[in-house]
Amino acid sequence: MPVRSRVKTFTMDGQDVSGHESETILEIARQNDIDIPTLCQLDGLSIIGACRLCLVEVVGWNKLVPACATYVEEGMEVVTNSERLQNYRRMIIEMLFAEGNHVCSVCVSNGNCSLQYLATKLGMDYVRYPYLNPDRTVDMSHERFVMDHNRCILCTRCVRVCDEIEGAHTWDVEGRGYKSHLITDLDIPWGDSRTCTSCGKCMNVCPTGAIVEKGKPAGEMIKRREFLGYLTKMRGVNNNE
Amino acid sequence: MTYYSGIEIEQGNVSRINEEIMSKYSVPLPSDDKRWRIVQGTMRRNGFRPDALIETLHTVQESFGFLDEEALLFVSDALNVAPSQVYGVATFYHFFQLKPAGDHVCSVCTGTACYIKGGRELLTHLREEYNVEPDETTPDGRLSMTTVRCIGACGLAPAVVIDGEVAGRLTTEMLSERLNAVLAEEEAAL
Amino acid sequence: MTIYDTLQGMAETEHDRQAQFENEMWVCLASGCASQNADQLADRLADLVKEQELEEKVNVKCVGCMGLCATGPHVTVKPAGQHYSEVRPEDAEALVEAAKTGEPYEPLYEPEYSQFFDRQTRIVLENAGSVDPESLEDYLVHDGYKALNIALTEMSPDEIIQEITNSGLRGRGGGGYPTGLKWSTVAKAESDTKYVICNADEGDPGAFMDRSVLESDPYRILEGMTIAAFAVGASKGHIYVRAEYPLAIDRLNKAIRRAKRENLLGNEILGTPFNFSIEIRLGAGAFVCGEETALIASIEGKRGQPRPRPPYPADYGLWGEPTLINNVETLANIAPIIRNGSDWYASFGTESSKGTKVFALTGQVNNTGLIEVPMGITLREIVYDIGGGAPDGRAVKAVQTGGPSGGCIPEHMLDLPVDFESLREVGSMMGSGGMIVMDDTASMLEVARFFMEFSMTESCGKCIPCRVGTKQMYDLLGRIESGVGTYRDLQLLRELCDVTQHTSLCGLGQSAPNPVLSTLHFFEDEYLSLLTDVEAAAD
């Protein structure tokens, strides 16, 4: 019987790389300093493959695949940054800007926002799609934090960190489609939540200015995410098993 | 397969389970209303497992007509599912209603066949003549309108369901006739 | 005596009982007719037969869907074969009289009725409209459970899978994935626990094939699932059925209870060591739950949101175990294939698409209803020969197949054969079987917007391109339709179609642009004529 190889060799953007069969394209890309944009993915949280920014091409495959959720295979030729991919990524960011009410100049996270960073990096200079200007609310009821639904991109990082790491599951998503939005408990004001432990993990993993700390001035609203790697290691959590 | 206190619980086979063990997982019923027992029965049949959430919500809606806060919190508590998750599930599925319906309910089928054969005119008619929007109830609480995604009666297009009865091949006049008859019944009874 | 012998004894007794009647009156009691008071009609007929002391001569039998749902309730008098439509309870007396004398009751008599069936080939629907769906005995009379007995006592799981593979059967839920291959993948997966799921979450708005099959022939689905479970090594099954189908749920529940009593489900089925149980799970109104991973999430009690594939359910499905998911119509084909052999089945259809397909023929067409046709038949034959063309002598403009994931096929292409590949090549798809005929009054733009509204409200909201893309496309279609759209809007629309199609997470988003793309392709003029700057389009 032939011996099964657990290490796969393949190419990424023409570069020879290798990875263990339990590693994803995204992990190998990061090990090799190949930058693939991500938004919903965060080390330590479960993988959902929802933002579609990390889609890559694999030569000979007829569909684009999410780098975060695709394991490496022997001999695959991965293309991470073709013009087509760049276009799609820019369009997805445009869609997000058009969907919510994102006004960087008046946002406390200006300068410390993943959405803003990606827009700049992907060269999105303006939004061609009509702004949907949804009527969204700001929940100021919590004593320490603010939830501004105008700036929420529904990446569900807060939902996952609260459920998977904190174990409270205070957050979830109501409804579906473009009408869906985040809720605490039975869609009650955050400050009235029976389940929230006020740990602030949701605020720290939020990529935009949707969940922020009260009283922080713009420029100082910096999210700290080191705890995620530490906690997952200490608790031996593996959310993808 | 789920294990509680070392006892294997197989779905549909919970009669084997010791009531005593089960009772640990039972939370008090919200009130004496007998319908809560029916709801609890569904949960019991499913071993109070979190995945019985949708089945349980179906039973609540069947028993009470809609899902209110009390019911959602009870289900959350009894099945060990976070309130936000219960709410997320209840609002994801179109079938679940979080508001009580009016005295009479008119559901307009918005499936393709009905739409093409005049369903949209029926919708407009209800909006204009009865002053009611989809998923809303008239201010006097007499009539609720909902839309459904195909009731599978495409041969009868356009179709509506009035208080559970399918009425097919309707014109706006026939719809008014039917609705007025239903609405008048009650007035006569008063 | 084996359990199967006992069942055959039951079948014989039932057969003899039926043979003693001089006349049978079949009353359709599927949803379409039931909503038109067919149940009262059936009661009235039975009462009359009793009153006139004809119980030994005339049998009033409740049967499943006869197909022509628009003109219900339907009654067929056997053996004369007289068919009556739009029968009211007050007509019962006249019908009983007709059955007695053999003379047709003219006012409701439909002598042309058989023409509707002449071009059809009924495999899935062979029992629909002639067998009592609530009677196991009647199912047994019509070769019911013969296939399961062959499968469990004469065949190995591998042989069954080989037989299904040889038949060329492909998934009837829309994708057309080879059923035999799917089964062998699940069979290969290593696990002590495997599941079989019957996907009865018929979500295509304008299709009711699955509902009809479940209401008309529930035992056939149980038999198909049981054979599938034996072949792949599963011990548990779920039927995920729409809560909007109460009659189908009721009949399935009855059938499951009865099958358990007769050792056709449960432990040691037909006296063999094989165990399999089936449980019903109710859907709650979410089209996206037709997607396999979303369906699994829903059975697990969660929001029905899809997850990236791979891993496929065959490998990692319900509760992380290998899971076979087949559509209702696919499973309805299993028993006939095992009973009659794969060669027989493969003799129907085309080279790449074997067998038959059930369609719900609706829209602007004279004969609306449920039809089953061999693969490879042309759309023209369906629309004109079976459907009788558009009413009021209007011209047919296009035919829409595949529901919100499909496209519109213009009149001049109706000679296209109906098979998986041909439909895909013209930008539509087989889909689950909705077929909507549109006459020359239909606006293609409006049709595209109707389906986009559907996809938009049914989008689960998880991935960005589907959540936002469908909303943007819907708004743009609305702008163009109301006459304020520009050429630039049209360009943006095309671009959004492209990004949504290629970057969405699941099939719902990936196919949501299809109705727009196909109408843009075949009816571009309708779009262009509505733009404010048509001149720009010319450049």
pLDDT in tens, C359-402: 999 889 998 889 999 999 999 999 999 999 999 999 999 999 99
Task: Record the tokens describing residue C128, joined without a space.
Answer: 């629909």
Residue at B99 is within a domain:
no
| Calpha distance B158→A72 (Å, rounded) | 52
Q: Is the pLDDT of residue C46 over 60?
A: yes
Q: Do C308 and A49 touch (CB under 8 A)?
A: yes
Q: Do B82 and A170 touch (CB under 8 A)?
A: yes
Which of A168, A183, A194 minimises the CB distance to B87?
Answer: A183
- Phi and psi of A192, rounded to 5°? -90, 0
One domain, residues B53 and B117: no
A131 touches chain C (CB under 8 A): no
- Phi and psi of B148, rounded to 5°? -125, 150
Full-model pTM: 0.93
Output the pLDDT for position B22. Answer: 54
- The count of C-alpha atoms lying within 13 angstroms of the C-alpha of B153, restricted to the half-sphere facing its C-beta, is 33
Q: Is the pLDDT of residue B23 over 90?
A: no
Output the pLDDT for position B4. Answer: 40
A156 touches chain B (CB under 8 A): no
CATH code, domain with B166 = 3.40.30.10
Average pLDDT of span B120-132: 92
Average pLDDT of span B134-138: 89
- The count of C-alpha atoms lying within 13 angstroms of the C-alpha of B20, restricted to the half-sphere facing its C-beta, is 2
Residue at B165 is within a domain:
yes
CATH 3.40.50.11540 at C136-346, yes or no: yes
CB C263 within 8 A of CB C271: yes
The ipTM value here is: 0.95
One domain, residues B8 and B84: yes
Q: Do C465 and A52 touch (CB under 8 A)?
A: yes
Residue at B142 is within a domain:
yes
Which of A170, A176, A195 minimises the CB distance to B92?
Answer: A176
One domain, residues B118 and B84: no
| Calpha distance B151→B125 (Å, rounded) | 20
Q: How far is C252 from chain B (nearest CA, A)?
A: 16
CATH 3.40.50.11540 maps onto chain C at: 136-346
Q: How many domains does chain B have?
A: 2
B113 touches chain C (CB under 8 A): yes
Q: Which of C455, C464, C471 to mutate to test the interface with A (most CBs of A within 10 A)?
A: C464
- Phi and psi of B157, rounded to 5°? -60, 145
CB C252 within 8 A of CB C241: yes
SS3 at position B169: coil
Type of residue at C411: E
Between CA B29 and CA B37, with CA B34 as vertex, the angle to 5 degrees is 55
Type of residue at C480: I
- Which residues of chain A are under the pLDDT cut of 50? 241
Residue at B63 is within a domain:
yes
Type of residue at C165: T
Work out the angle between the directed axes of helices C328-340 and C218-232 (0-180°, nearest 10).
80
Which of A169, A174, A187 minimises the CB distance to B82?
Answer: A169
Q: How far is C298 from chain A (nearest CA, A)?
A: 14
One domain, residues B157 and B177: yes
Q: Indicate the CATH number of C445-538 among 3.30.43.10, 3.40.50.720, 1.20.1440.230, 1.10.4000.10.
A: 1.20.1440.230
C475 touches chain A (CB under 8 A): yes
Residue at B43 is within a domain:
yes
The CATH number that domain A7-81 falls under is 3.10.20.740
Residue listed under structure tokens 């991470």: A80
The CATH number that domain C356-431 falls under is 3.10.20.600
Q: Do B88 and A170 touch (CB under 8 A)?
A: no
For chain A, give the number of residues: 241
Q: Do A172 and B85 touch (CB under 8 A)?
A: yes
CB C26 within 8 A of CB C79: no
Task: Record the tokens describing residue A46, joined without a space.
Answer: 């479960």
Identify the architecture of domain C16-118 in CATH.
3-Layer(aba) Sandwich (3.40)
C362 touches chain A (CB under 8 A): no
Domain boundary among B62, B92, B122: B92
Q: What residue of A is the nearest CA neighbor of B69?
A: A186
| Domain residue extents for chain A | 7-81, 103-215
> Of B141, B85, B146, which is closest to residue B110 (Cα–Cα)?
B146
Q: How far is C294 from chain A (nearest CA, A)?
A: 13
Q: Do C442 and B115 touch (CB under 8 A)?
A: no
Give the residue numbers spanning the domain of B129: 104-189
Q: Is the pLDDT of residue C524 over 90?
A: yes
C193 touches chain B (CB under 8 A): yes
| Calpha distance C445→C457 (Å, rounded) | 18
Touching subunits of C (3+ CB pairs, under 8 Å) are A, B
Q: Is the dihedral of CA B51, B54, B58, B61 positive or negative?
A: positive
Chain B hits for C207, CB-CB cut-off 8 Å, are 150, 152, 154
Chain A hits for C175, CB-CB cut-off 8 Å, are none
Q: Which CATH class is domain A103-215?
A: alpha beta
Residue B106: pLDDT band with limits 50, 70, 90? very high
Q: Do C503 and A49 touch (CB under 8 A)?
A: no
Q: What residue of B is the nearest CA neighbor of A168?
A: B82
Share of chain C above pLDDT 90, in %: 83
Residue at B169 is within a domain:
yes
Task: Record the tokens describing residue A118, joined without a space.
Answer: 């990606």
Long-range contacts of C486-490 (CB under 8 A, 24+ apart): C486/C531, C486/C532, C486/C533, C486/C536, C487/C531, C487/C533, C487/C534, C487/C536, C487/C537, C489/C531, C490/C527, C490/C528, C490/C531, C490/C537
| Pairs of CB atoms within 8 A across A/C | 94
Q: How far is C473 from chain A (nearest CA, A)?
A: 10
Average pLDDT of span C119-147: 95
> Of C321, C300, C323, C325, which is closest to residue C191 (Cα–Cα)?
C321
One domain, residues B108 and B154: yes
Q: Do B51 and C363 touch (CB under 8 A)?
A: no
Residue at B74 is within a domain:
yes
CATH 3.10.20.600 maps onto chain C at: 356-431
Task: Record the tokens describing residue C35, joined without a space.
Answer: 């909503």
One domain, residues B21 and B84: yes
Touching subunits of B (3+ CB pairs, under 8 Å) are A, C
Long-range contacts of B32-39 (CB under 8 A, 24+ apart): B35/B63, B35/B64, B36/B74, B38/B63, B39/B63, B39/B71, B39/B74, B39/B75
Q: Do A186 and B92 touch (CB under 8 A)?
A: no
DSSP A207: S
Output the pLDDT for position C331. Answer: 98
Mean pLDDT of chain C: 94
Pure H helices in B7-119: 19-23, 35-45, 53-64, 69-79, 83-92, 112-114
Residue C104: pLDDT band with limits 50, 70, 90? confident
Residue A229, H or E segment: helix A226-235
Task: Record the tokens describing residue B97, joined without a space.
Answer: 């209603």
Q: Do C469 and A176 touch (CB under 8 A)?
A: no
Chain B hits for C434, CB-CB cut-off 8 Å, are 112
Output the pLDDT for position C537. Answer: 59
Output the pLDDT for position C244. Answer: 86
Q: What residue of B is the nearest CA neighbor of C286?
A: B93
Chain A hits for B91, CB-CB cut-off 8 Å, are 174-176
Output the pLDDT for position B13. Answer: 47
> Of B184, C244, C459, which is closest to residue C473 (Cα–Cα)?
C459
CATH 3.40.30.10 maps onto chain C at: 16-118
Q: Is the pLDDT of residue B2 over 60?
A: no
Output the pLDDT for position C100. Answer: 84
Which of C284, C301, C434 minimises the CB distance to B95?
Answer: C284
Residue at B64 is within a domain:
yes
One domain, residues B170 and B128: yes
CB C229 within 8 A of CB C322: no
Touching subunits of A (3+ CB pairs, under 8 Å) are B, C
B85 touches chain A (CB under 8 A): yes
Residue listed under structure tokens 């640990």: B24
Output the pLDDT for position B5. Answer: 39
DSSP C397: E
CB C124 within 8 A of CB C358: yes
Give DSSP secondary structure letters for C157-196. HHHHHHHHHHHT-B-TTTT--BHHHHHHHHHHS--S--EE
| Calpha distance A50→C462 (Å, rounded) | 6
Q: Is the dihedral of CA C46, C47, C52, C53 positive or negative?
A: positive
Chain A hits for C424, CB-CB cut-off 8 Å, are none
B96 touches chain A (CB under 8 A): no
CB C84 within 8 A of CB C108: yes
Q: Which of A160, A179, A185 to mutate to test the interface with B (most CBs of B within 10 A)?
A: A185
Task: Record the tokens describing residue C470, joined without a space.
Answer: 């469908």
